[in-house]
Homo-oligomer: A and B are copies of this chain.
Amino acid sequence: MLDQIRIILVNTTHPGNIGAVARAMKNMGLADLCLVAPKRFPDPEADARASGATDILASATLVDSLEDAIADCHLVVGTSARGRHIPWPIMNPRELAGVVGKVASETRVAIVFGREDRGLTNEELHRCHHHVQIPTNPDFSSLNVAAAVQVIAYELRMLHESLDEPSAPKWGTQWDIELAQAKELELLFEHLEKTLVDIEFLDPGNPRQLMTRLRRLFLRAVPDKVEVNVLRGILSSVDVVVGKDHPKKG
């Protein structure tokens, strides 16, 4: 899917922005960059801001007009700030990703970004099938062009990963240890309660909500087996100090 996407920058003024776009694209797994009549390119400032994504810059295509840039594309999406007068099918970046996710595998999709100071002209926008708007603070709505590419490329990446991985991982790596079973947790809570009585923190005649609060706290964290063993080990060390070493159960 990601290799069906072409990012097109129209009349970019600052080469640093082109470099930052290349970096954002490569970070998100996009590779097809097309530059329509950039003011300065190639340029060392573009290379510097690309920060390792210079391959994207080296393989970028340069063309004279938007027409040339989109000629072989099947679906063209223009980015637009708020407040255009002409009604046009408009989407946010997430909806765009939804549309891109549904196109056929032969469909080439162009996403077009305008000039730093005034975006795309109405004529350019009218070449687009859809317009996409990034939601912004209405009092300060002009995004840097690389920031706009970053947001849209991120949505495409999210789509890509959801296609690749039906069940997204919940932890940074696979959790390394099996979760504790209910019976182990019950033994932990039993042990905890006895020790709290022994150190006279818990008054068995007036237990109030103490164990309930502690249960809620630990259960919320969904402890694994090693964590439960660590906690039981701490309790056993306290038991030794207080002189009431309980025989270990479980």
Report A's interface with B, CB cutoff 8 A: 20, 23-24, 26-29, 51-53, 80, 82-85, 87-90, 92-94, 131, 133-137, 140-144, 146-147, 150-151, 154, 157-158, 161, 168-176, 196, 199-201, 210, 213-214, 217-218, 220-223, 226-227, 230, 233-234, 237-238, 240-242
How many identical chains are in the complex?
A: 2
Complex alpha-carbon distance, A136 and B84, angstroms: 33
- For A214, the chain B residues whose CB sits under 8 A away are 230
Q: Are A20 and B144 in contact (CB under 8 A)?
A: yes
**A136 and B151: CB pair below 8 A?**
no
| CB-CB under 8 A for A201 and B237, given A52-B140, A84-B172, A150-B150 | yes
Q: Quote the shortest CB–CB distance from A83 to chain B (angstroms).
A: 8
Which residues on the B side are within 8 Å of A230 (C-beta)?
210, 213-214
A137 to B93, CA, bound (A): 19
- Contact partner of A221 (CB less than 8 A), chosen from B28, B29, B217, is B217
| Residues of B contacting A176 in the complex (Cβ-Cβ under 8 angstroms) | 87
Chain B, Cβ-Cβ closest to A169: B90
Contact A175 B210 (CB under 8 A): no
A-B contact pairs, 7 of them (CB 8 A): A27-B142, A27-B143, A29-B137, A89-B170, A135-B158, A147-B150, A199-B237
Which of B89, B169, B223, B233 has a CB less than 8 Å from the CB of A171? B89
Among B82, B133, B158, contact of A94 (Cβ-Cβ < 8 Å): B158
> B173 to A87, Cβ gap below 8 A?
yes
Max chain B C-beta neighbours (<10 A), residue from A29, A140, A173, A222: A140
For A237, the chain B residues whose CB sits under 8 A away are 196, 199-201
Task: Decide: B241 and A90 in contact? CB cutoff 8 A.
Answer: no
